[in-house]
Each structure stands twice: as C-alpha cells, then as structure tokens.
Amino acid sequence: MIPIYASVAAFARTRSRPERGRTKARLGLRPYGRALLLVQSLATFFVAALLLFIGFTDMAGAQTSSSGPSAGRSLKLVAFGDSLSAGYNLAASAAFPAVLEQALRQKGLAVEIVNAGVSGDTTQGGLERLDWSVPDGTDGVVLELGANDALRGVDPSVTRKNLEAIVARLTERKIPVLLAGMYAPRNLGEDYAKRFDAIYPELAKQYGLVLYPFFLEGIAGDRALNQADGLHPTADGVKVIVRTILPTVERFIATLPLRS
C-alpha cells in the first residue's frame, strides 16, 4: 500500500443624615472613642464586602459548572470504521480512538470514544452492523470507511450508496457525523480516482457534515509511519493522524448539541 498511496500523499499535499441626639453624643467622645468607632465601622464594612464576594463567587461557580460538555457527563463518541480505526496490530491504547480521546482530554474536553472499528470492513459491512455498533445515547460519530472499497476496486457508486445510507440513518437518529474521507489509490486510474474522491466532499455538502478530507493525511507513503504491510499506521503513525485531525474533531465537538 505504501507504493500505491505514495502518489496519493503527493496529491494530498498539492463581555441619611444622623439624628441630632446621636450627633451630640458622638461630639462628646474622646479621641480614642472615635478611633474605636472608626475601626468597628471599617470591620463591619469589610465583613459585608467579604460575604458579598463569597456569594458572587459561589453563584458564578454554579453557573460555570452547569454549562459546557464536561459538566455532568462526558460526551460519547463512536469511531466507526475499519482497521485504521480498530488499530490493527497495535495495543488498544495505541489505536486511533484511544489516542484521540487522550488528546481531547488533554485539551480539557470530557470525551469518551468507543472503538467500533472492524478490520477488513467495507462500507457494505459497516452499513450492516451500524445499528448495534452505534448505540442510543451516542453524541457523535467519526465515520471512517471506504479504504477497503478502494483497495478492492468496488464501484464508487456502490461505496457512495452505502456511505449515504449510513449517514442518512444516523441523521434520522439525530446523531451528528464527522466524515473522514479517503482518496483512491492512483493506480486504479484517473476516472476511478475522480469518482471515488468526490464521494466524501459531496456527501458532506449534501448533509451538512464536518469533513476531514483524507484520514491518512501526513502518513500516506511514509514507510517510517506505516507497518511493514504498508497498509496500517504504526503507533507513531496514529499519533500523526490524531495530531492532524484534532482541530477538525474539536470543531466537530463544538457543534454537538447538549443532551440531558
């Protein structure tokens, strides 16, 4: 896949007055009496100001704690894809969903990402397992499918139909989608590549999705960032993928509706 995707990598780069009596009494006070009265007055003022400040701080804190995605519960995302999401030949902690979750948490976002990647899966396989792979209560899906379709030379019209069905079904369930795109290997010909590459931006425009154009951006064709089979990223390769896609994922999370 490294030789196959080397050309793809090149393509990807191209907000009162006082009472009188009291006044007379105070005029008769000795100097030290006046000083004591002044101290008492200042102390009373200070205590009142302190109580007011504490009350304001508590109220502001309560308002802050009741807003934002990290208040109350974590956002639940599903990484729905193939071996690129599953973390083929990698420790679970080094797979894309786990590394992305950690990166988001380091940004202060309370997010849980379920790894729903299946090695070898095509868009057809993803469509068939969609309902049980993406449970109710999911806040958003990172959809990463299509690479195996391209490697097998599946007709782009079939790939498009399957991806559109997945997006439509998730839309019906009111689950937002971040669409991670893929480019076809250039050895499949110009016509095939043109038809396949157009699937992702066209679906994103049609359904108003957040689009990340090329999931393998930054690692395609780089032997140091891919395993020996040339098909799957190393642990370092996954880190590059996460670092590159992270701003898009943050933008996607900012669009997610708050659920009770």
> Which residues form the catalytic set?
83, 229, 232
Edge-first strand order for the sheet with 210-212 is 111-117, 75-81, 140-144, 177-180, 210-212
Computed on alpha carbons and rounded to an integer, the radius of gyration of the chain in Å comes to: 30
248, 88, 232, 209 alpha-carbon torsion, rounded to 10°: -30
Q: Phi and psi at residue 257, in whole multiples of 5°?
A: -70, 145
Helices 235-255/96-106 angle, 10° precision = 60
Distance separating alpha carbons of residues 218 and 45, to the nearest angstrom: 62
> Among candidates 121, 192, 194, which has minimal Cα distance to 162?
121
Bridge partners, residue 144, by sequence:
81
Distance separating alpha carbons of residues 76 and 70, to the nearest angstrom: 11
The answer to whether 144 and 117 have CB atoms below 8 angstroms apart is yes
118, 120, 126, 132 alpha-carbon torsion, rounded to 10°: -30
